[in-house]
Structure 1
């Protein structure tokens, strides 16, 4: 059974109650230990939601990712500090029994779920060693199957077990976070296992959009652009403060966006009363959502990495990253 780790609002905040467009809403962000998952949880909390945050790294143990400096307890505390109510629960989303225990807890405490953000991954460590630059038959089978477990099977288990709670909402929202959109992923993603893992959430959102429609629900797949995640910053040996130093190593990093950019766009989508009409069954990106909702990144820019890659990197259009910010 999962550990029971809960972080609540301070007394003053609890007495006043959350404020914001998502006040009274119950959200769950699966994969909220760090990066985009953490940022989305915090922004949903900033909008007033109660947010269950899940992940495998706690203050007591680290996951296979091996980054014990970021924990789900910290994420929950950040959600609460932002104005929401953060609740940290550490199931392994590949373990059905642990996810069922999570479902039972949300049901017991709230009786429903309004927003489910499925941002599970954790396979970065396998990419450089087992995936990129290798044909599928050169990829160790165990590593390839692990990528599919982390990027596809975990998403299916989470959706299947939490959807019965989600459809109790008067406006269910299911967000699948992946890498790439249906349009950009028409290009092969370099390796069979990675391609399957990152396209599966897109098809999952498409199919669930059909099933949720009769409940007034929305299912959408959302992709960040070139994300300045902790993993990517570590890879380039930079921090958020000096991230532009990495452009010398990778010129395309000039179009990079912070995790808060995706998070702000998802929070705006969640607060949109017309989201089903706009997005149900679709795949989209932080750049497209930012244009629709008038969202900017932390530096005030509005990067559209996928448009930049389509036009300039993969296409024959002249331009620079700054033209797409």
Structure 2
């Protein structure tokens, strides 16, 4: 099976790609982080290596999902190399640290709302270019990574609005995909044990330690996607 996981240099995307690799998938790993600068952990190359080590074939593909031309060129590449896509996971998103604090939206920089560009709009664009590689084969799965923050307050509007948006996008795309054999779903992930979350817990175990009681591994959603 051929899978594309966007925004997979680290976090949920990296875990999903890793899990799909364990199921033998060819996984294209997209993202902007090609080299680590020492302050950010995780690159698309490192994720691709984990995919291959797990039993799949990991392919690192540098893509800025804010650039439609780069996205179009990437899917053209997948078409040339594989001829189809079986699983598309729309996970790329700009998550700024300022958005994740306990501040009011007017106290945050305006650019936290860039989630509407890389997060919501980018998922639409990726699916537009992926669909022609799925429809002719009569089967496929389009996944949007979301959370329950789409229906309750989590980290403010810059977080919740794009989550609600991809939920609706999945529903409307599923309607258009009717009779094609392609399904579109939005998966609500729980708290994830990403490197970022582990660092937050380690910074104040007394305050944040409870997260460990219910947190999921980043790979869990990948296994759910495989079962779907």
Residue 227 of structure 1 aligns to a residue in which SS?
coil
Q: Is 1:199 paired with 2:137? A: no
2:180 is aligned, of 203, 215, 219, to 215
- Which residue number in structure 1 is paired with residue 208 of structure 2? 250
Alpha-carbon contact 1:94-1:157 (below 8 Å) kept? no
- Which residue number in structure 2 is paired with residue 114 of structure 1? 86
Query: Deviation per CA, 1:115-167, whole angstroms, max 9, x where unpaired?
Result: 100111241423146xx430x444433x2432322321222221222222122
Greater Cα radius of gyration, structure 1 or 2: 1
- Aligned-partner Cα distance in 2 for 1:128–1:159: 27
1:79 is aligned, of 51, 58, 66, to 51
- Aligned-partner Cα distance in 2 for 1:84–1:35: 19
Residue 150 of structure 2 aligns to a residue in which SS?
helix
Q: 1:44 to 1:72 in 2, by over 3 A?
A: same
Q: Is 1:262 paired with 2:194? A: no
Q: Is 1:233 paired with 2:198? A: yes
Q: TM-score w.r.t. structure 1 length? A: 0.65
| Stretches of structure 1 lacking an aligned partner (at least 5 in a row) | 1-24, 239-244, 270-325
2:61 is aligned, of 85, 89, 92, to 89
Query: Deviation per CA, 1:102-126, whole angstroms, max 9, x where unpaired?
Result: 0110111111111100111241423
Q: Is 1:53 paired with 2:29? A: yes
Q: 1:160 to 1:150 in 2, by over 3 A?
A: same
Residue 262 of structure 1 aligns to a residue in which SS?
helix
Deviation at 1:204, TM superposition (A): 1.1
Alpha-carbon contact 1:31-1:53 (below 8 Å) kept? yes
5 Å-filtered alignment, 1:121-160, equals 121-128=93-100, 132-134=102-104, 136-141=105-110, 143-160=111-128
- Aligned-partner Cα distance in 2 for 1:164–1:108: 13
Q: TM-score w.r.t. structure 2 length? A: 0.90
- Which residue number in structure 2 is paired with residue 37 of structure 1? 13
Count of aligned positions: 227
Q: Is 1:175 paired with 2:143? A: yes
- Aligned-partner Cα distance in 1 for 2:5–2:158: 24
Taking CA–CA contacts closer than 8 Å with sequence separation of 6 or more, which of the two structures ends up with the larger relative contact order?
2
Residue 201 of structure 1 aligns to a residue in which SS?
helix
- Aligned-partner Cα distance in 1 for 2:209–2:56: 38
Q: 1:251 to 1:70 in 2, by over 3 A?
A: closer
Q: 1:40 to 1:128 in 2, by over 3 A?
A: closer
Residue 86 of structure 1 aligns to a residue in which SS?
strand
- Aligned-partner Cα distance in 1 for 2:150–2:75: 32
- Aligned-partner Cα distance in 2 for 1:95–1:216: 29
Alpha-carbon contact 2:28-2:58 (below 8 Å) kept? yes
The ranges of structure 1 where at least 4 consecutive aligned residues each deviate by more than 4 angstroms after the TM superposition are none
- Aligned-partner Cα distance in 1 for 2:169–2:221: 20
Deviation at 1:190, TM superposition (A): 4.9
